[in-house]
């Protein structure tokens, strides 16, 4: 290790120590009653991460919202308006509105205020996207996702590692879901690992199963088609793996930072790159809502995914909807 790398590691370690001290101070403030979370007149369930990066929260939130409606409930989804695009909307906000209707989605800066607004509007179930670390809002249940392909057990806080909170924070979780399992992979070892850190939580496992590849202009992309993946999501490697699982022959990948809104120039360049490779340009549904109309859609396809439980799904959903106490 060179001197620059050594200094960088020391700075990151110092930053992680400060980050951890701040987290502990906040935890103690809430535990001592010096700070009080806001309670709203609805069942509040957060779906969040312990680490930075994409674990697939959006897909699970959409699945839970659909499951709520199947039970006769009208859920609200609360999300942060993160890196909004030209129209002032965030990408996840757009996805939720497209799937659930505008009236079911509450987006903005304060999740606490948004949840209160949803409750005042008569929503009796509020799903808080990325809400695990939002201590200012009292929840009935925390659902925490752990990516099987991410080294979440390394135990290093930001900025030295990828943890937003220490592993012991999993003790707050009511449901822990291990995500990104490979097709046919045994969930039991992963559930055992998660259970060591969250002994009181319901344990479940799930994955993002491909649900077809469709041209933006309409029609299905045939299996075996050559594909160039373009994505601005938290886990580009997972997107590529899902594209391969969908039967596409991936020949290349272009990535941008998470939540990036493609300019018309960037989009046209990506289309041209895919065309030179004799491939379709394949994006995720989240990328598709950030695709600029001015760039055109010829040769551009969307990789659709759906949430699929691998283990513990029924019990996890009963916990989410508060059915265990009935």
The Cα 213–Cα 220 span in angstroms is: 6
Facing residues of 229 across strands?
253, 282
**Strand 202-215 and strand 105-108: pairing?**
unpaired
Annotated ligand binding at 242? The verdict is no
Instruction: Specify the residue for token string 């304060």.
Output: 110
**Strand 75-80 and strand 105-108: pairing?**
parallel
Q: What is the DSSP string of 141-197?
A: EEEEEEETTS-GGG--BTTTSSBSS-GGGGGG-SEEEEE-PPTT--SHHHHHHHHHH
Annotated ligand binding at 233? The verdict is no
Annotated ligand binding at 56? The verdict is yes
Q: Which of 40, 57, 50, 251 is nearest to 164 (CA)?
A: 50
Annotated ligand binding at 103? The verdict is no
Annotated ligand binding at 57? The verdict is yes
Helix (H, G, I), strand (E, B) or coil at 225: coil
Residue 4's CB is within 10 A of a number of other CB atoms, namely: 8
Q: How many CA atoms lie within 13 A of 144 on its CB side?
A: 32
Instruction: With beta carbons less than 8 A apart as the criterion, state whether 46 and 95 touch.
Output: no
Crossing angle for the helix pair 313-320 and 57-70, nearest 10 degrees? 70
Task: Note the maximum CA span of the chain.
Answer: 62
Question: How far is CA 162 from each of CA 16, 52, 53, 245, 256, rounded to the nearest angstrom?
Answer: 10, 6, 8, 27, 19
Q: Provide φ and ψ at 169, rounded to 5°.
A: -65, -20
Annotated ligand binding at 52? The verdict is yes
Question: How far is CA 122 from each of CA 27, 116, 144, rounded to the nearest angstrom?
Answer: 31, 10, 26
Helix (H, G, I), strand (E, B) or coil at 78: strand
Q: CB within 8 A of 112, min separation 6: which ones?
A: 37, 38, 134, 136, 137
Annotated ligand binding at 278? The verdict is no
Annotated ligand binding at 255? The verdict is no
| Binding-site annotation: residue ranges | 51-58
| Binding-site annotation: residue ranges for ATP | 51-58
């Amino acid at each position: 290790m060179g001197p620059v790398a050594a200094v960088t590691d020391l700075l990151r370690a110092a930053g992680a120590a400060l980050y951890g001290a701040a987290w502990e101070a906040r935890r103690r403030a809430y535990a001592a009653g010096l700070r009080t979370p806001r309670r709203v007149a609805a069942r509040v369930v957060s779906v969040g991460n312990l680490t930075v990066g994409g674990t697939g929260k959006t897909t699970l939130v959409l699945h839970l919202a659909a499951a709520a409606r199947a039970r006769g409930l009208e859920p609200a989804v609360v999300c942060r308006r993160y890196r909004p695009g030209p129209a002032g909307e965030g990408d996840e906000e757009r996805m939720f509105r497209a799937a659930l209707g505008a009236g079911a989605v509450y987006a903005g800066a304060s999740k606490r205020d948004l949840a209160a607004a949803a409750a005042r509007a008569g929503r009796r179930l509020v799903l808080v996207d990325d809400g695990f670390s939002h201590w200012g809002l009292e929840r009935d249940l925390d659902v925490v996702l752990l990516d099987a392909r991410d080294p979440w057990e390394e135990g290093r806080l930001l900025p030295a590692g990828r943890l937003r909170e220490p592993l012991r924070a999993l003790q707050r979780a009511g449901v822990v879901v291990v995500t990104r399992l490979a097709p046919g992979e045994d969930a039991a070892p992963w559930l055992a690992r998660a259970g060591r850190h969250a002994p009181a939580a319901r344990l479940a496992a799930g994955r993002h199963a491909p649900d077809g590849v469709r041209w933006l202009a309409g029609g299905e992309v045939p299996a075996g088609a050559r594909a160039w993946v373009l994505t601005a999501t938290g886990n580009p490697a997972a997107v590529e793996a899902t594209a391969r699982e969908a039967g596409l022959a991936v020949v290349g990948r272009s990535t941008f930072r998470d939540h990036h809104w493609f300019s018309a120039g960037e989009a046209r360049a990506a289309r041209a790159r895919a065309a030179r490779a004799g491939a379709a340009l394949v994006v995720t549904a989240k990328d598709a809502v950030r695709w600029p109309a001015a760039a055109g859609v010829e040769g551009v396809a969307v990789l659709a995914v759906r949430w699929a439980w691998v283990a513990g799904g029924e019990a996890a959903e009963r916990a989410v909807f508060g059915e265990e106490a009935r």
